[in-house]
Chain A
């Protein structure tokens, strides 16, 4: 019953926000801003930059709120807008190039016992090149398929796979380095 009530309450807030009710818009912002800033932070090293992207994406959220059909998760819908905004911004600013590397191995992380904190994980992701970072975030964190990643980034499926392969390899090396550093063996 509580879930249904919460869903109805959120629906009412969304309906009010569609009518440019600033109080309802602020409620939505307050509820999702911290999570969405975390999403934006995955794609950019600078937190202020991430905040700018989040605000711009929230503008698009409120502008397109009338198109939300209440079929799926509202948070997932907002998150998708955030990711698209970050990717389009990075691609526009940095002109990311993806090497058409057909060589890849269907691999995965070796099961490394990682007790890494979220900040360590973020610093590892930040160390990746933009192309690898975007593919890794979309595949490993957002859960997109390679075909979907190829459509989003405008690359082939095999390129997406090879980018992920290189990202994993690089991350694995970084995790091992970090582990050895923490153990004092470096």
Chain B
């Protein structure tokens, strides 16, 4: 500090430093309120970081949950595609199975009347079973690759398995295997999918229609079929 030799300045300083001015009564209240607000702001700042962290965590968990949900959806789409192929195959195969022998359409259609099937197919069944009995080591499924791949549309075979005549005629030891195979076929026959009744004429007419349909109509039809298949599967 510089020397204040000047008497007047020293007098000024002493008098001003000794002076006291009482503040107004509400000055402390104002200061108190301001201090309270400042403390609240400080505390809010502390909690603010917590809120931000919590919201970030929330978003992350929601995002993780969303991603985990979307993956199965994609898989379902793939499954649908698989089902589409699976559902198409029986139709195609049924078509293939039907088209070569149009006379079988009556047999397939007669699945609605099981008694007729038995009577009509007795000879065929007997012949096939005899062949099986001759080739004991080779199972029946290997004789017809289409049937081996897809056991579901084997209505004829399944119907034949219910024929008691076969069991009565075949006392051969191979009949045990045949019985097992028939039992397996019955177990597969219990699957509700196989209970779907197919009308060959309708299928043929649909195939004819498909030829005449445009690509867009085909795709729409295919999509509706897939949807109905998925719906049926879900119901089952």
A residues apposed to B, CB below 8 Å: 20, 22, 25-26, 29-30, 33-35, 37-38, 41-42, 47, 50-51, 54-55, 58-59, 62-63, 108-112, 114, 116-118, 121-122, 139-141, 143-146, 175
Of A26, A37, A110, A112, most buried by chain B (CB within 10 Å of CB) is A37
A-B contact pairs, 16 of them (CB 8 A): A22-B35, A30-B28, A33-B28, A34-B23, A38-B20, A38-B21, A41-B21, A55-B30, A59-B35, A111-B6, A116-B11, A141-B17, A143-B1, A143-B2, A145-B1, A145-B2
Nearest Cβ in chain A — how far from B2, in angstroms? 6
From A140, which residue of chain B is reached at the shortest CB distance? Answer: B9
Q: Is B216 close to A, CB under 8 A?
A: no
**A41, A51, A54, A140: which contacts B4 (Cβ < 8 A)?**
A140
| CB nearest to B5 among chain A residues | A108
Nearest chain B CB to A111 CB, angstrom units: 5
Q: Which residue of A lies closest to B31 (CB)?
A: A55
Evaluate contact between B16 and A118: CB separation under 8 angstroms: yes
Instruction: State whether the Cβ of B12 lies closer than 8 Å to any Cβ in chain A.
Output: yes
Is the CB of B24 closer than 8 A to any CB of chain A?
Answer: yes
A111 touches B7 (CB 8 A): yes
Complex Cα gap A51–B6 (Å): 31
Taking the closest CB of chain A, its distance from the CB of B8, in whole angstroms, is: 4
Which listed residue (B16, B19, B27) contacts A33, Cβ 8 A? B27
Q: CB-CB contacts of B4-47 with A at 8 A, as 1s and 0s?
A: 11111101110111111111100110111011001100000000
Minimal beta-carbon separation of B9 from chain A (angstroms):
5
Q: Tell me the interface secondary structure of chain B in the complex.
A: helix
Residues of A within 8 A of B17 (CB): 141
Contact of A42 among B1, B16, B31 (CB under 8 A): B16
**Interface residues contributed by chain B, number (CB under 8 Å):** 30
Residue of chain A at shortest CB distance from B39: A20
B11, B23, B35 pick with most chain A CB within 10 angstroms: B23
B18: chain A residues within 8 A (beta carbon): 118
8 Å CB interface, B98-130 against A: none
Closest Cβ of chain A to B220, distance in Å, is 73
Q: Do A109 and B8 touch (CB < 8 A)? A: yes
- Beta-carbon contact of A108 and B21 below 8 Å: no
Contacts of A38 in B (CB 8 A): 16, 19-21
CA A143 to CA B5, docked complex, whole Å:
12
Q: How far is the CB of A85 from chain B (nearest CB, A)?
A: 14
Known contacts A33-B27, A42-B16, A122-B16; is A55 also within 8 Å of B34 by CB?
A: yes
* Chain B, residue nearest A58 (CB): B31
Partner of A118, one of B6, B15, B22: B15
CB of B22 within 8 A of CB of A29, answer no
Q: Which of B1, B8, B19, B30 is within 8 Å of A114, CB to CB?
A: B8
Distance (Å) between the CB of A167 and the closest chain B CB? 11
Q: Could you tell me if B16 and A109 are in contact, using CB atoms closer than 8 angstroms?
A: no
Of B2, B7, B8, B34, which contacts A139 at CB under 8 A? B2
By a CB distance below 8 angstroms, the chain B residues around A146 are 2
Q: With A and B bound together, what is the CA distance between A58 and B35 in angstroms?
A: 10
Q: Assuming the A-B contacts A33-B23, A59-B31, A59-B38, are A111 and B16 also in contact, with contact meaning beta carbons closer than 8 angstroms in the complex?
A: no
Query: Which residues of chain A are within 8 angstroms of B8 by Cβ–Cβ distance?
Result: 109-112, 114, 175
- Specify the chain B residue showing the minimal Cβ separation from A122: B16
CB neighbours (8 Å) of B32 from chain A are 22, 26
Q: Is the CB of A121 within 8 A of B6?
A: no
